[in-house]
Chains A and B, each alone.
Chain A
Amino acid sequence: MEAVPSAPSPLIALVGNPNCGKTALFNILTGSRQKVANYAGVTVERKEGSLLTPSGLRVRILDLPGAYSLDPLTPDEQVTADVLLGRRAGETQPDFVVCVTDATNLRQNLRLVLSLKRLGLPMVVALNMTDIARRKGIVINAERLGAELGVPVVETVGVKANGVRELVKVLDHVSVPLRASGASDAGRAVWRTPSTADIAHDQSEVRRILGLVGGDRLDGVTVSDRVDAVLLNPVLGPVILALILFLVFQAVFAWAQVPMDAIKFAVADFGNWLGAALPESLLKNLVINGVLAGVGSVLVFLPQIIILFFFILILEDSGYLPRAAFLLDRVMGSVGLSGRAFIPLLSSFACAIPGIMATRTIQNPRDRLATIMIAPLMTCSARLPVYALIIGAFIPHKRLWGGLELQGLVLFVLYVIGVLGAMAVAFVLKWSGASAGFQSLMLELPSYHWPNLRNLGIGLWQRVEIFMSRVGTIILALMVILWALSSFPAPPPGALGPPIQYSIAGHIGAWLAVIFAPIGFNWQISIALVPGLAAREVAVGALGTVYALSATGNDLSGALTPLIAQSWSLPTALSLLAWYVFAPQCLSTLATVKRETNSWRYPIIMAAYMFALAYLASFVTYRIALAFS
């Protein structure tokens, strides 16, 4: 056994209902000192941070997943209950609990407080969002609430730096209780699953307390209700949803143009400068044709990814996302999915990996599996570089009626095809009996509020970091490997074609090109698809490398767009677009599916059906396009 450190840091758990502002509070308390990982054996996110209190005490803060109850229905709630009860392997039971409550929704939040109290752990109730409550005219007597609950209550404002001062003061006095192993259960209430009668009893207690402390302003039509009257209107609601999604995709193309050009020119200038500065050598070749050409052509899509996430984060933070799930539930239900599946599927538009992880909020295992299987068909942001390259090269830049951009419209159509494909696959799964009959929805529609700029900034920065670290690691490494494959062996003396044709990559490409010839892919595309298996956007970098190396003239650092516009036919370009809608060109996604389903079966099925769909779609697209051109 290891010796106990002399001054152990107390472990403090943040617990609360979903949508109570717990994560914002966690961000304020711990700032950037956060460690994000997964709980052992499950894919529930584990967030731990630390805080140095005014008196110099270092406390560890664990942000437990949101829970309505300690009687778990989802993997998230299971983790929360297990950690609090000290029965989760590899986790120490918290020394202190901060129960975060939403002051505007105490009626619901207090039941969890009552359950937590029964656990017997030392705790404090954080009465959060008191600023919003006050604006709504809800005044709660915190002192009285504390007296009635028998637990200290502090007011917090989770979005303001000084809104947690009172809470920090309480945390300053938390100590690690001296407890021998095994003795921690002594004197603790034994947990038992509450019956409906228990819940009803708690509720009458909640009603009694609320009657004494205020905060029970019921009914009345709130601002949120007035907004909902429009946004959830049976006719207007779906129209507005479609408009919002359409505008997002238009913006991704229109707004990103200027910063994308700036990045493109900066990379080109840097390449020219470097080309002039470095002596002629193999290293120069690697840096300019391998690293710069490859990484530069992926980096250029950063503005579009930022814009897409900007909108997703705003929709999420404002409370609109669950409404979209509500509006789409009927449509989702018709193909055997729950409206809840909308949120994982929407996340998949950014990246299928967080999307597949988000399916853990779906309680029904078969429903969850169906959602996992179709998540990669949502157009993830890694496809954007590929789409943008091909659309930029082949679709004319012109305005249609109403100021719509043709390029944006084509992009939107590609997204729609992905969604329709996903629905068709879901329908087949339902029809084959692979998804269940009764899917639960029970989705909370939180009050609307203006997105918090600080949280938006943190969220965007995290996305930029993820993208940049991919560019810096996996993409960079693949670019170097691909450059090596494309450069060796060197062409024989007196060879006439571009050097890459004689390299290893050229041989693999020539072999793959036979398989892909019926769908119109040339050997350059076939080569690019191989590293593109690691990550979709790598294919663009790979094309950059392949074409830079295969160019015989002096346009090595020239833009890729005019190159492919010259050398591909329109049917080939459309066929490649169709391929990218369906193909499982992402090993990380398949690895995530393996981990989430704990079986090789589903990633294999997924890869097989997606390759089959992609080949079929490309074949049909290519043949139809050939017939018309």
Chain B
Amino acid sequence: MTTAPPNVAISELTGIRLTDLGIGKTARVVAVTAEGGAAPVEIGRRLAELGFLPGEAVRIVAKGLMARAPIAVRIGTGTFALRLFEAACIRVCPEQPQPA
């Protein structure tokens, strides 16, 4: 599934939250912002410094079974574990599935 679920609001940035991306799915970052969320402002800057910047490709490597478990995200050649409130600062545009 590459489109956003119906309950996810599509912002003017036409992205979904990284947390709504499925396991193993790839997407491209469209925006990183802590605004509007409950996360502290420096979270957005720190995410940018780890490489979560518009235009970068991301892939969900792992998700936990329990609700509110963190997710593991591939960005470039690195992998980071993010808590959900951190991942929710990242808006992404899902990529079309690649032919195998």
Contacts and interface: CB of A to CB of B under 8 A. Distances in A.
Contacts of A68: 46, 49-50
B81 A107 contact: no
A481 to B, nearest CB: 48
A225 B23 CA distance: 12
Contact of B48 (A104, A200, A445, A447): A200
A438 B61 contact: no
Given A107-B77, A329-B81, A199 B68 contact: no
A441 B69 CA distance: 11
A111 B81 contact: no
Nearest to A204: B55
Nearest to A237: B62
A445 B55 CA distance: 22
Nearest to A232: B62
Interface in A212-249: 217-219, 224-225, 228-229, 232-235, 237
Given A203-B51, A219-B26, A441-B82, A196 B63 contact: no
Contacts of B45: 71, 195-196, 199
B32 interface: yes
Interface in B43-87: 43-51, 53-57, 59, 61-66, 68-70, 72, 74-83, 85-86
A545 interface: no
A338 to B, nearest CB: 8
B12 interface: no
A71 B44 CA distance: 13
Contacts of A199: 45, 48-49, 53
Interface residues of A, number: 47
Contacts of A219: 26, 57, 59, 74
Interface in A409-454: 438-447
B38 interface: yes
A300 to B, nearest CB: 40
Contact of A445 (B39, B46, B63, B72): B72
A525 to B, nearest CB: 43
B42 A441 contact: no
Main secondary structure of the interface of B (DSSP, over half): mixed
B40 interface: yes
A272 interface: no
Contacts of A439: 83
A444 B47 CA distance: 12
B67 to A, nearest CB: 8
Interface residues of B, number: 43
Q: Which of B43, B47, B72 has the most CB of A within 10 A?
A: B72
B78 A108 contact: yes
B27 to A, nearest CB: 12
A277 B50 CA distance: 67
Interface string A304-333: 000000000000000000100111011001
Given A219-B26, A333-B68, A200 B54 contact: yes
Given A111-B49, A326-B62, A440 B83 contact: yes
B77 A104 contact: yes
A71 B86 CA distance: 19
Contacts of B26: 219
B46 A444 contact: no
Given A108-B51, A199-B45, A330-B70, A442 B85 contact: no
Nearest to A443: B81
A339 interface: yes
Nearest to A193: B45
A229 B24 CA distance: 10
A441 B70 contact: yes
A348 B24 CA distance: 35
A364 to B, nearest CB: 9
Nearest to B61: A228
A71 B47 CA distance: 13
Contacts of A233: 62
B49 A445 contact: no
A69 interface: yes
Contacts of B53: 199-200, 203
A517 interface: no
A217 B78 CA distance: 12
Nearest to B59: A219
B66 A330 contact: yes
Contacts of A207: 55
Contact of A108 (B59, B77, B86): B77
A81 to B, nearest CB: 13
Contact of A232 (B32, B44, B49, B72): B72
Contacts of B80: 442-445
Contacts of B64: 234, 327, 329-330
Nearest to B70: A329
Interface string A57-89: 000000000001101010000000000000000
A586 to B, nearest CB: 32
B51 A234 contact: no
A487 interface: no
B76 to A, nearest CB: 4
A29 to B, nearest CB: 25
B69 to A, nearest CB: 4
Contacts of B74: 219, 225
B83 A196 contact: no
Contacts of A329: 64, 69-70, 81, 83
Nearest to B32: A196
Contact of A441 (B40, B61, B77, B86): B86
Nearest to B54: A200
Contacts of B63: 234
B40 to A, nearest CB: 6
A447 B76 CA distance: 13
Contact of B38 (A107, A203, A438): A438
B37 to A, nearest CB: 10
Given A196-B45, A325-B81, 9 more contacts: A105-B76, A199-B49, A199-B53, A200-B53, A207-B55, A218-B76, A333-B68, A440-B43, A442-B47
18 contacts: A71-B49, A105-B76, A108-B75, A196-B48, A203-B56, A325-B81, A329-B64, A329-B69, A330-B64, A330-B70, A339-B81, A438-B39, A438-B85, A440-B86, A441-B81, A442-B46, A442-B86, A445-B79
Closest CB pairs A-B (n = 3): A234-B65, A232-B62, A107-B76
Interface of A: 68-69, 71, 73, 104-108, 111, 195-196, 199-200, 203-204, 207, 217-219, 224-225, 228-229, 232-235, 237, 322, 325-327, 329-330, 333, 339, 438-447
